[in-house]
Amino acid sequence: MKPYYITTPLYYVNAEPHIGHAYTTVAADVLARFMRARGRETHLLTGTDEHGAKIAEAASAAGISPQAWADKISGSFRELWKHLDVRHDDYIRTTEERHKACVAAVFSALKDSGDIYKGRYSGFYCLSCESYWTDKEAPEIEGKRKCPNTECRRPLQLVEEESYFFRLSKYQERLTELYKKGMFLQPSNRANEIVRFVERGLEDISISRTKVKWGIPVPGDPEHTIYVWFDALINYVSALGFQPGGSPGRFNDLWPAEVHIVGKEIYRFHAVIWPAMLMALGVEPPARVFAHGWWTVSGKKMSKSLGNFIDPREVTREFGVDAFRYFLMREVPFGNDGDFSIEALRKRYNAELANDLGNLLSRVLEMVDKYIQGNLPKRPALEEDFKTSQIAKRSPEIAAAMERLAFSEALEIIWSCVRLLNEHVNATAPWKLFKTDPDKVKPILFDLVWSLRIIAGWIEPFMPRTAAAMQAQLGVRQFPMPLTPEEVLHGPNGDRIQKGPPLFPRKT
């Protein structure tokens, strides 16, 4: 089977990363870990978008060269991914030679084929969003034109210059056909916005600037640099060694991508311009583009330009990496907007992580220690009324949710199993039973341990450290981690049970 290729946006290096960036990247990592655990070869790409006026300005404000600035901030992103246990397979920077060469080759190929042509551009430009807006999109109000992006609203600059254009209008029909096939635009409740936008008619887009010096020069016309979006989108294939007119094996092995995960504000770039660029190159579009929602802080979109952003490291210092990853994936359905608050995180931490899961594990392991002296539990014969059997049956539902990127739904199913086990402990009360009928306690404990082994495997994509700690305590150290329910049920019996420190000490 073809490897599962997942991408995140390439983040701008104008400022340090915040939880919005962590959100997309953690989601991509959760999906990648899930696929790997199922034995699917997986390729996760992330990186940084380093050209454009906005970045040159940030560098100049810091008094260093754009490249030195980009090196510093790109390094921060890379370190953050390591800190958050994101296992990306590649990390691309748009200032790397492999990328610049590919962008120049794509530009030349499309110029030769007539899909890029030279003309004059006159219109409005938002420096902060690196976006052009038409007369219609940004009408004059009281003598001023403001960026139509409601979160930005900065004054626009009138730009008039010679420019290269990409013949986007030519691809309107083919884009509509692509959308009709059904899977490309995800989640489906966001699809309409794109379909309507394309149906209203597409204009060719300006893809070069003469005023922006910090960019990839147009081949053969170095007065122009390539528009930062045209440059950046190509990363998804430049990282695979794509060459117009014939690429080496890696590109052929990995492309088309299974999913580009992006925030909703850059959906159009990925769902309209990018597939049209690929069509122009004679390359298949990705299977899906998934646009998730925004995190707000006290109702406002968090962004580097608004300066209201939350540093992921501060959150993990207090709650740990796993709880942060869990909260991001659990709090709102992937696709919807959500409001980030430490209070909401603390609530879920105490209720779902410390109480539901952490307590369950320590209760069970304490009993295993006390009543059967930590001895290896044999796999129970899977009787229908065993929780292990009931829980293992939920596996296909979880897999289906994960494939739809419905992360919070998958976690809900997992937590319904955790709660079921807590109820089972309360209902069977092994501490009472032990006094009257100690032999009856054994199968109950075995059942609980095996059930918890399955749960540890399920939560690995979300909370890899917790899963490893649980599996070590549950005596499954010699298994390749993480365990799938099938491996739990059919693999070896496992080591001695060894209770460890609490997974999630309560936070006040």
Q: Give the interface with ligand ME8 as residue ranges (CB under 6 A).
A: 9-12, 20-21, 23-24, 49, 232-233, 235, 262-263, 265-266, 294-295, 301-303
- Longest pairwise C-alpha distance within the chain: 90
CB of 470 to ligand ME8, least distance (A): 29
Q: Which is nearer to ligand ME8, 10 or 345 (CB)?
A: 10
Give residue for tokens 């890696």.
250
CB of 110 to ligand ME8, least distance (A): 17
Q: Measured between alpha carbons, how far is 360 from 80 in angstroms, rounded to an integer?
A: 31
CB of 128 to ligand ME8, least distance (A): 10
CB of 204 to ligand ME8, least distance (A): 20
Single-letter amino acid, residue 360 = L
Q: Which residues contact 427 (CB under 8 A, 6 or more apart)?
A: none
Q: Is 341 helix (H, G, I), strand (E, B) or coil?
A: coil
Q: Which is nearer to ligand ME8, 263 or 275 (CB)?
A: 263
Name the residue among 104, 107, 285 with its Cα closest to residue 194: 285
Q: Which is nearer to ligand ME8, 42 or 46 (CB)?
A: 46
User: Could you tell me the CA-to-CA distances from 363 to 113, 266, 419, 446, 471 in Å, in that order?
Assistant: 68, 47, 13, 13, 15
Q: Is the alpha carbon torsion for 321, 322, 325, 327 positive or negative? A: negative
Q: Which is nearer to ligand ME8, 237 or 425 (CB)?
A: 237
User: Could you tell me the CA-to-CA distances from 205 to 105, 122, 185 in Å, in that order?
Assistant: 19, 11, 22
Q: Measured between alpha carbons, how far is 284 from 256 in angstroms, rounded to an integer?
A: 6
Q: Which is nearer to ligand ME8, 336 or 395 (CB)?
A: 336
CB of 125 to ligand ME8, least distance (A): 16
CB of 23 to ligand ME8, least distance (A): 5
CB of 7 to ligand ME8, least distance (A): 8
Q: Measured between alpha carbons, how far is 32 from 461 in angstroms, rounded to an integer?
A: 8
Element (H, E) at 223: strand 221-226
Taking the mean position of all CA atoms in its chain, how far away is CA 16? 18
Q: Which is nearer to ligand ME8, 12 or 91 (CB)?
A: 12
Q: Which is nearer to ligand ME8, 126 or 414 (CB)?
A: 126
Q: Which residue is nearest to ligand ME8 (CB)?
A: 20
